[in-house]
Homo-oligomer: A and B are copies of this chain.
């Protein structure tokens, strides 16, 4: 009898988890490897950061997802390197042999080598980031209540987000709602006219992947919510007391959220395959590594050109690539020809606080309350686990009806 082929899937994010499901009833043995024991719903990280949801609401135990799937094992470990010649994944606790490897490690915040910013600014790519940012924002308000110098109070109450993509727009929108609807009630002793909310974008418009009128709608809504949006504003330095821009401007502030870029998790560069400047592996149309046909790379870890441009680092690309890669593993196992990947763009959504979003689906584009309802529905449907969906709905409903974010605790966990 032939040995069942072992497929190691590295990463339990959207892509990795999707690949696991595609291979659920197939004649392969799957080992899912992740440094965390949970799947994280990254699109809602900003809600944890702005006290709208708890860390438990957007993470779900991987073993709970895998309980029904008998061909899959979970191995909690950090991937350290890949021995491509020897077909071994090297982890923080031991090596794992594979016949096929599907790399879906995702991205990390890209500070573009700026060590000072990396040290002092807040990323928004994992739960720890979001949790620390929530604690930090609330701590700044507590400090402000005890501060007599109005200049320092202003510094404490200035919240800056850089990056005008979906992450930055959603984050500053969440902070605006937190400040204007919740913190003003929590801190009657503070004068929030001393507070400033800034969104800094290096280019000349928000949400570049959207049509231009939707970018304008997002800009108008953010300004209506009291956000000072500045274009052509590039952050050069942040020392935790103030931001210095490329044009020499200084803005005193204790909080900088970095939504200005991501790059592939470092393991790809470590194993010395050909990469782009964001550390992503160059892959064949079948999503294989050119010299290692048993290794597939997908999502934020893969550089894949379509219509002459590399695909963006977003969840829909990752999930669709995971589908193709998992099927191609099966194609090899079963002796069938491989298929090339083709990305079908489904649409594009971004929300700006309560009751407002922008949406773009092929010919349709719209903004406002209906787009927000759509955003809500899409995110709830995608959230893993019925229970999480239920609790998130309650939190949102609570937030919506009572203008209250109940989770504004400073937890030092």
A4 within 8 A of B: no
Q: Could you tell me the distance in whole angstroms from the C-beta of A37 to the nearest C-beta in chain B?
A: 5
Q: Could you tell me the distance in whole angstroms from the C-beta of A161 to the nearest C-beta in chain B?
A: 21
B64 touches A404 (CB 8 A): yes
Q: Could you tell me the distance in whole angstroms from the C-beta of A368 to the nearest C-beta in chain B?
A: 28
A413 within 8 A of B: yes
A98 within 8 A of B: no
A123 within 8 A of B: no
Cross-interface CB contact of A411 among B59, B187, B398, cutoff 8 Å: B59
CA distance A36 to B408 in the complex (A): 11
Q: Could you tell me the distance in whole angstroms from the C-beta of A218 to the nearest C-beta in chain B?
A: 30
Q: Which residues of B contact A385 (CB under 8 A)?
A: 406
Cross-interface CB contact of A76 among B59, B67, B142, B404, cutoff 8 Å: B142
CA distance A64 to B407 in the complex (A): 10
A73 within 8 A of B: yes
Q: Could you tell me the distance in whole angstroms from the C-beta of A32 to the nearest C-beta in chain B?
A: 12
A223 within 8 A of B: no
CA distance A61 to B410 in the complex (A): 9
A63 touches B187 (CB 8 A): yes
A55 within 8 A of B: yes
**With contact pairs A54-B54, A186-B67 given, residues A38 and B404 touching in the complex (Cβ less than 8 Å):** no
User: For chain A residues 134-150, which have a beta carbon within 8 Å of chain B?
Assistant: 138, 142, 145-146
A75 touches B391 (CB 8 A): no
Q: Which residues of B contact A55 (CB under 8 A)?
A: 54, 56, 409, 411, 413
Which single residue of chain B is at the shortest CB-CB distance from A143?
B93
Cross-interface CB contact of A146 among B36, B93, B189, cutoff 8 Å: B93
User: For chain A residues 61-101, which have a beta carbon within 8 Å of chain B?
Assistant: 61, 63-64, 67, 73-77, 93-94
Q: Could you tell me the distance in whole angstroms from the C-beta of A167 to the nearest C-beta in chain B?
A: 20
CA distance A189 to B74 in the complex (A): 10
A56 touches B409 (CB 8 A): yes
Cross-interface CB contact of A413 among B93, B398, B413, cutoff 8 Å: B413
User: For chain A residues 172-202, which have a beta carbon within 8 Å of chain B?
Assistant: 185-187, 189
B413 touches A63 (CB 8 A): no
A406 touches B64 (CB 8 A): yes
Q: Which residues of B contact A93 (CB under 8 A)?
A: 146
A3 within 8 A of B: no
**With contact pairs A75-B146, A387-B398, A394-B390 given, residues A186 and B63 touching in the complex (Cβ less than 8 Å):** yes
B67 touches A37 (CB 8 A): no
A127 within 8 A of B: yes
A36 touches B131 (CB 8 A): no
A128 within 8 A of B: yes
The 8 closest A-B pairs by CB, nearest first: A54-B56, A63-B186, A38-B409, A76-B142, A413-B413, A131-B413, A61-B408, A37-B410
Sample (22) of A-B pairs whose CB atoms are under 8 Å apart = A37-B408, A37-B409, A38-B409, A38-B411, A54-B54, A54-B55, A55-B56, A55-B411, A56-B406, A60-B406, A61-B406, A61-B409, A63-B186, A64-B404, A67-B186, A75-B145, A77-B146, A128-B413, A131-B411, A131-B413, A388-B406, A394-B394
